[in-house]
Amino acid sequence: MSELSSQKCEACHVDAPKVSDDELAVLIRQIPDWTPVVRDGVMQLERMYKFKNFKLALEFTNLLGAMAEEEGHHPGILTEWGKVTVTWWSHSIKGLHKNDFICAAKTDALLA
């Protein structure tokens, strides 16, 4: 399997499969700083990034927004002084699709 960060999101329809527990266990190893969380019954991937000030947090937010538009897949973003909390899940299937793991890896790569 090629690196998640070099893959592209595919169109995700309401009947697309959610990742299984076994798939999740394999995929999460490639994005070890992300935590699966369940919010309102929906499995999501979350990571908090720290920055030295608000300006740097906002610059990262804008890079992330551009990447999301490029992929056609969009995260939850909470931008605060010195930190940005990013949450990926697939609204259409109310859970995690492989796209979310790809986008989490691409989010990490924005800072690499």
Distance between CA atoms of residues 5 and 7, nearest Å: 6
Size of residue set near ligand H2B by CB under 6 A: 7
Choose the stretch contacting ligand H2B; rule: CB under 6 A; options: 28-36, 39-47, 58-66, 70-78: 70-78
Distance between CA atoms of residues 60 and 86, nearest Å: 11
Select from 73, 96, 104, 107 the one that contacts ligand H2B (CB under 6 A): 73
94 binds ligand H2B (CB under 6 A): no
Return all residues near 51 (Cβ < 8 A) that are at least 6 apart.
57, 60, 82, 83, 84
Select from 74, 83, 85, 110 the one that contacts ligand H2B (CB under 6 A): 74
